[in-house]
């Protein structure tokens, strides 16, 4: 099948902001005709990311206007291609990125956003897309972690965190894994974490100070923002890198614009001259921007993590697999902060 006419398919549509059980509707949607460089995938399963929770709550500025179909990743079979895409893709099982739309049963994406996979479990493959690619980009491509460096990983039991632990240990770094409850300690230790910090038991900064024993951090992987920024920055040593890739603290705000202002206030201002004088680095990561402006980098990282998985160097952590009817519950579970690893919804 080549550049076929538009078709219809089921999709979970985000119709309003708010509670998951009220925000989504499973409905038929129109799938447009393919552009020349695109292909269409019959989806087997799709993954959830914390950015989806932010979008549902109206806090993700890059999300499409409502109503919309969100989602960044899927596994499925290529069923149609544009005229500039090789016919060889048809019938192949692929792991794919999409610029939103992945909550649909049929998804259109670019040829350079897919990688062929075998018969590996979809729920394992899903962890290799947005989350593993983000981790690889930060820890290997952007600012490589070195042997012996002290690394703090926030949300260490989550999808990105569990991959970060493995990548950092692959390069013989010393990992401080921050978790939200004691039930996650066994998981992060099994992945190689050297020290575990449970912030539900008290101020994580104090625990970090004790465990550092007077030394400094080399890297902080921080998807939280807010007050954690100042705390982490204080513990960075010369040459240290603060890598910000989310603002989950903002998602807990109940006062809209006022919560956003408070979020920024907690982070404070960093003067460039201070960074120079202290030899510290602050790096921001938004993988959607990388996908838009440097798709070849995204593809490079995707190919790399799939190879590491297939060679046994990466172990995806499956946090939960849901049927298509249970997408709202999957959203609630992810937002609760109680899950571990990757959450997947199967069609």
Q: Are 238 and 278 in contact (CB under 8 A)?
A: yes
Is the pLDDT reported for residue 112 higher than 70? yes
Determine the Cα angle at 235 with ends 229 and 238, to 5°. 110
- Residues 120, 215, single domain; the answer is no
pLDDT of 260 strictly over 90: no
pLDDT tens column, 293-325 = 999 999 999 999 999 999 999 999 999 999 999
299 domain residue, yes or no: no
Alpha-helical regions (H) of the chain: 20-23, 50-56, 122-126, 130-136, 159-170, 185-190, 204-212, 227-235, 248-251, 257-267, 272-278, 287-293, 295-310, 327-336
Using left for φ > 0, alpha for ψ between -120 and 50, and beta otherwise, residue 54 falls in alpha
Q: Are both 183 and 277 inside the same structural domain?
A: yes
The pLDDT mean for the chain works out to 91
DSSP per position, 102-120: TTBSEEEEEGGGEEE--S-
Q: Are residues 241 and 105 part of one domain?
A: no
Q: d(Cα 102, Cα 99) in Å, to the nearest integer?
A: 8
Domains identified in the chain, total number: 2
The answer to whether residue 324 sits within a structural domain is yes
Looking at 68-82, 143-157, 257-271, which range is the least confident one?
257-271
Query: Is the distance from CB of 142 to CB of 51 less than 8 angstroms?
Result: no
The pLDDT of residue 66: 97
Closest CA to 40 of 95, 93, 108, 103: 108
Determine contact, residues 70/55, Cβ cutoff 8 Å. Answer: yes
User: Are 266 and 320 members of one domain?
Assistant: no
Higher pLDDT, 156 or 6: 156
Residue 174 located in a structural domain:
yes
Task: Tell whether 296 is covered by a domain.
Answer: no
Residue 295 lies in a domain: no
Q: Return left, alpha or beta for 268; rule: phi > 0 is left, psi -120 to 50 is alpha, else beta.
A: left
């Amino acid at each position: 099948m080549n550049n076929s006419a538009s078709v219809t398919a089921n999709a979970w549509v985000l119709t309003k902001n708010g509670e998951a059980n009220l925000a989504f509707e499973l409905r038929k949607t129109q799938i447009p005709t393919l552009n020349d460089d695109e292909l269409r995938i019959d989806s087997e399963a799709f993954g959830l990311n914390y950015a989806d929770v932010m979008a549902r709550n109206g806090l993700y500025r890059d999300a499409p206007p409502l109503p919309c179909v969100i989602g960044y990743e899927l596994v499925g079979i290529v069923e149609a291609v544009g005229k500039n895409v090789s016919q060889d893709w048809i019938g192949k099982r692929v792991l794919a990125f999409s610029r939103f739309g992945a909550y649909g049963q049929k998804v259109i994406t670019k040829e350079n956003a897919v990688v062929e996979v075998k018969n590996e479990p979809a729920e394992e493959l899903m962890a290799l897309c947005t989350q593993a690619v983000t981790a690889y980009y930060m820890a290997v491509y952007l600012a490589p972690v070195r042997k012996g460096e002290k690394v703090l990983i926030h949300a260490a039991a989550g999808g990105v965190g569990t991959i970060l632990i493995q990548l950092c240990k692959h390069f013989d770094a010393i990992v401080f894994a921050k978790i939200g409850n004691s039930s996650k300690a066994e998981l992060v230790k099994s992945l190689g974490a050297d020290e575990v910090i449970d912030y539900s038991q008290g101020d994580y900064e104090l625990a970090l100070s004790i465990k550092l024993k007077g030394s400094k951090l080399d890297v902080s992987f921080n998807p939280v923002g807010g007050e954690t920024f100042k705390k982490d920055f204080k513990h960075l040593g010369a040459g240290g890198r603060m890598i910000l890739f989310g603002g989950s603290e903002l998602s807990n705000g109940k006062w809209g614009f006022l919560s956003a202002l408070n979020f920024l206030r907690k982070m404070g201002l960093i003067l460039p001259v201070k960074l120079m004088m202290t030899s510290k680095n602050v790096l921001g990561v938004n993988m959607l921007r990388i996908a838009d402006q440097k798709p070849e980098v995204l593809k490079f990282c995707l190919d790399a993590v799939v190879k590491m998985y297939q060679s046994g160097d990466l172990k995806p952590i499956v946090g939960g697999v849901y049927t298509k009817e249970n997408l709202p519950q999957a959203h609630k579970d992810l937002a609760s902060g109680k899950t571990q690893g990757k959450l997947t919804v199967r069609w």
